[in-house]
Amino acid sequence: MRPSTIAIDGPAASGKSTIGYHLSCYLSYLYLDTGVLYRAVTWAALDREISIADEAAVTHLAEGLHIDVMPSTETDGRQYTVRVEGRDVTWAIRAPEVDAAVSPVSAYSGVREALTRRMREIAALGRVVMVGRDIGTVVIPDADLKLYVIASAEERAHRRQLERQTKGERAEYEAVLENLQQRDQIDSSRAAAPLKAAPDAIIFDNTDLSIDEMLKQAERLVDGLDPNGCM
């Protein structure tokens, strides 16, 4: 039987969102990139000029903020639509200033508790592909299938640079690489739910895989097959 709850974790730009979205379409499951919830809180804090360093204020914001994540409503390349208090912020939450501030926000235990409650309510319904950084270890540790997606920092920086350039943004490779390495350090060393693979997660290294190869291997995993083609 195919897994009903799929947890996909990994560092930024590792390909986990691409895999998660593809599998949700392949299985006709709900797709939830949980990172957008943390990005939405971060964007809202910046928009309301709340200091990112003010843990209490940011936590209070997260506890009361109305965030909707729904299937895509536009044909602009998005995988979903994110609304904060009714406002479409799908692309705004991907801005460089949000990139620079989201890791500290996601490290706050109160913020994580507030958003984890929402994630578990969604996961309890089943037939979901949930992507993030602590899904298999904290949010749904009893998930039917857990993948921990990785790629080299250099390859991830290259992907993120191309992503931004495609949107018409200026992105210097060295700056993107430094930002990713800083995020890796913060995410893996934070006290609350640090980024790490669950003991029973399948390590999925796609550094040298094309997108098509990566997605085909992911399909075989959810179908209970060896990704290299053997039963």
Q: Number of helices (H) and strands (E) in the chain: give both, helices first.
A: 8, 8
| Residue 89 within a domain | yes
- Predicted local distance difference test score (pLDDT) of residue 230: 45
Dihedral-angle region of residue 9 (phi above 0 means left; psi in -120 to 50 means alpha; beta otherwise): beta
- The pTM of this model reads 0.81
Local confidence pLDDT in tens for the 231 residues of the chain: 899 999 999 998 999 999 999 999 999 998 999 989 999 999 999 999 999 999 999 999 999 999 988 888 788 888 888 999 999 999 999 999 999 999 899 889 999 999 999 899 889 999 999 999 899 999 999 999 999 999 999 999 999 999 889 888 888 999 999 999 998 998 888 887 889 999 999 999 999 999 999 999 999 999 987 766 543
| Strands 80-84 vs 87-88: parallel, antiparallel or unpaired | antiparallel
| Residue 229 within a domain | no
Looking at residue 139, the DSSP 8-state letter turns out to be I
| Residue 30 within a domain | yes
- Predicted local distance difference test score (pLDDT) of residue 135: 96
| Residue 103 within a domain | yes
What mean pLDDT value characterizes the chain?
92
| Strands 128-132 vs 5-9: parallel, antiparallel or unpaired | parallel
> At 80, which CATH number?
3.40.50.300
- Predicted local distance difference test score (pLDDT) of residue 120: 94
Paired strand residues for 67: 84
CB count, 10 Å around CB of 168?
6
Q: Identify the domain containing residue 115 by its residue range.
A: 5-220
* Total structural domains within the chain: 1
| Residue 231 within a domain | no
| Strands 80-84 vs 67-71: parallel, antiparallel or unpaired | antiparallel
| Residue 208 within a domain | yes
